[in-house]
Structure 1
Amino acid sequence: MGMMSWMKGITFKLFVICLVFAGSTVLIISVLFYNYIKEDTIHSRVEQNRQILQKVKQYLDMYFLMIENTHYTVLSTIKLSMDNPDILQNQLDQLYLANGGNLKNIYIINEDLSIIGGNVISKAYDEPLPERQRLYEQALANPLSIKATEPYMSTYSGRTITVTRLLSYNNENAVLAFDLDLEALEDHLLRIGDYNDYKIGILHQSGVPVAQSLSLNAMTVSADGKYKLGTLDFMSIYNAGKDVFTTQINGAPATITKLLMPRQNWIVYSVLDETPLRKSLERLRAYSAGLGFVGFFLSLVTAFLVSRFIRKPVYYLKRKMREVRNGNLDIVISNHRQDEFGELADTFDDMIGRIRHLINHLNVSEQMKRDMEIQVLQSQINPHFLYNALGSISNVVALGRTGEVDRLVRSLISILEYGIADASDRVTLREELRNVKDYLYIQNIRYDQMFALEEQMDAELLDAPVLRMILQPIVENGIFHGYQGGTLEGTITVSACRDGGRMIIAVSDKGVGMEEELAGRILQRSYGAERPKRRQRIGLYNIHKRIQLYYGEDYGVEVSSKPGEGTVVRLAFPL
């Protein structure tokens, strides 16, 4: 019995609440901290990897541009010496020596597949060889461009890629060929990855590796002749739509990132060993768990200390009673307790609830009256617009101008979506102007006239708040009454300016205008009731009342007009 009473008391309940809240907070923070650090670390490594690959790609693009420039230089140099083998051989020797850092050989393939070469070894193999057939055919198939082979093993250049270009002279064909020095490429380029824990490689579209870091020794060849990197074959890596892969290399997790080089039909890829990262994340997970345990222990101690202050709720209730005595009747204490504090809270809520009910009853009645009047006013405006918009669509279809129906319907949908929202919502002047532009587009189509919109306002006022659907009915009145129902063309001008703490929006037309006496009576409800067919009076009266209901009697609508000069409708809003 004593235990049950204690569990219903304030001390135990406060202890449990504090413990659960503090413990949950520490646990959530620990989990979020771990996940954030993990995701941020992985993202940073991937981005760094991409940046390195981008630099490698830039280097290779410059490398191939240099090869192409050398190709064109050699063509222009040797073309005049094709009829003199000795001079040609001497020129090839000099060109080879000048470009030996990037090329293993420079030579010319004759039609009989014999060569004239600059490499010492190639001179020993200058007789026709079958392996040159595909090089010769490659150049013949692409007579106007430079083409590169896939990596292969050459008799006199070793492992290389050959770049060819057709050379025509005296109605005969020959092929200028460069054998690239892939070992030099690896030595000058791919070692960059070894200084950043990245192993970099280059892969041909055929799935054959072009070059790779000297430390990247995880490549294997399957029984069907496919090159593989861990559990992935190179063809799958090249053809895959994604650019980041995960695999196992020698039993260790690794991430492969690739970057396409479409000009050469290569990809440059990097292999990053994830073992150090996973070890770091394991340590981070242990630290997060330790942080969570320490936080839970501190939560336990904090909850115990807080629960000792059982008198705090009583003093809190006394302060609230003091506020009620000073006139604040909005005090509410939600109570689901079965202890002493619950009994006091029930008495307190019951006492102020009855008083608040009597006062709120009058406030609710006034608010309901205000809301109902706003809804009635808004409902008077929306059917007015919808009737005219549907009439515009009907006229377009009737005239057979089907090419304009799609945009017209989109404009109507945009206006309807804008108009059916809660009328009490505030919008910006910019949004109201966009709605007016859609409306004018519909009216221009309907009447086959041009009603242009002119805007005159500071850019900062475009974001000022106004009531929804406040400008479109005024623009509509300008067309129907100022421009005589669309029979006249004209400009609708919308301007906005500051006036002390107010913003004045003016909507003007250059239409037929009206007498000053009529303009003065146009906002009177009784005048609109006498002439129900003149929807302009009802619309402007509704707009005037909406502004005053929302912002007070100091704001609203003002109308000025002169016969033959047009009408100006000014709206005042607070800033």
Structure 2
Amino acid sequence: MRKLFHWYASLGLASKQFIYLFIVTLMLVQVLAWRNLHEAESLLQNQVIRDAVLLVSRTNQYIDASLDNVENMLLLLSTRADLLEEGNEEAAVETLRKFAGINNSIARTLYMIRADGQVFASSQVVYDIIGNPKLNQLYELALINYGAINVSEPYDSPMSGRTLAYVLPITDAGDKMKGVVVAELNLDLLTERIAPMIYQSYILFTKEGSVINRLDSRDKLLPFQAASYPPKLEEGFRGQLVGLKVGVSGIEGDSLNPLVAVKSTKNRLGWSLAAFIEEDYFYQDLQKLNNNYRTASIVWIIMLLISAYLLSRSFTHPIRRFVEKMDRLNNFQVVAKLPVTRMDEIGRLTQSYNAMLERIQSLLLKTKHAEEQKKEYELKMLRSQIAPHFLYNTLACISSLAKQQRIDELRDTIRSLVKLLSFSFDKQSEYVSLEEELEGLRMYMHIQQVRYGEQYQFRIDINPDLLQYRILKLTLQPLVENALFHGLTPNHGGLIVVKGGLKKGILRLYVRDNGIGIRREKRRRLLLENQDGGQGSMYRFTGIGLRNVHERIRIHHGEAYGLRIGSAEGAGTVVRVDMPVLTESDERLGIWR
């Protein structure tokens, strides 16, 4: 904390004002935003819960209405005791089929069970094949509360799948027991019709906690027992269901996610409907409000920054200008003088500062000019320097050819040496055409092949349209020389290929060899250090190395140009040369970039 106060005390007046105003205003905005968001969250949550309560109530009414249809159908069928008489079997099956077709939205299978055990079904053929072992229990259930409709617990029926049954005794005019009518409900269709009415998830259950609707294992809110099919709720969650109070309450769902449960009152069958909503659901609609507050905060902060900047500028503008100018002293080439608009101490300080800039810029220009001349002299010396050992060995080779009376080879070697020396000593221009540079390479490689043999191969693969362009003299020769002595000589021979092309206004040349390659750590230093000295340089034609070529190109054309080196040990090396596209007219006009 002490360091923080010390840092604050060291700031300028404008910075202190900015920090104070920024912190106070930001805290005020945050408090207001938090309170408004909290209130909006509470209002939205209450509204969603009220809507959920209304939906659950209406859904429960829909279930009651659907069950009323089943009861009415059973009451109508219970008046048809004649269908259970002997000889009316076909009429009974046909009547059940018609009733099932009319009420297929809620009833899946209808049965009439005669007192002697004979069963008639709305799908008689299917029943005759697979049967229904639950009918005996349903028959007994109908007799428990004689004369009234009874409802079974949910069960799995081979005829109707997951279902529950309405049962009602059938009596004749003399109240004699003739049989029982059974209706198995279509719980799947009931579930499909209830699902769109609820926000996210729901359970329709009996007073004992038995689930009536079919559960979906893909439901992410409800916890299911592991490896159970059809899906079953965990016992702990079922226990919470029974204990839920009517209305809104909290309950833990899958992975202990907090849920909001909305439970309806029981219908006349003792069933309850509970709808479940994730607590995170209430925050989804707040995203737009959050975005609005975020946008308002960003605008407010921007306005605050602008206001603080203008305030600090009005207090400290003259001094800040001095600081900015002094911070730019690392580049004195483009520094504008400060206008003298005041007559006080700041005005006199401005005049002194302008005079100091003039003196510094003058000194820098002189220093820069001297450095450029020095660098140019060094480059000219390197270009014109001929290694004595190269001349000695070449002349010795010529002497050997003369002794062997190999006149044609002697004549070609002398011609190549004369042209190579003439090309190197020519001082008329720093630039030559690409064709002239390649001709010098051919002379150089001819001498090397005479000295060392034909195991050193050389090939030029350049479009003739590029030969007219101008490049710096002795740009490619050091690269070929480096490839020859550092790449091919340790490998006792190989191939050097020179290629070229244009890409986005850049003349791009490649010198490729299939020699021993360059280690990664050495390749990184090639353009930073002079790696061409040592024992190998005594056999070279010039003393120009890769770094010299790279720096020379950058001096003339800028840092965007120069050499790039790629290599793989055992596979060879590629050196890429990037230079601007220059014609002879560009050279005369002094256009180098």
Q: Is TM > 0.5 for Structure 1 vs Structure 2?
A: no
TM-score by structure 2 length? Answer: 0.41
Larger radius of gyration: 2
TM-score by structure 1 length? Answer: 0.42
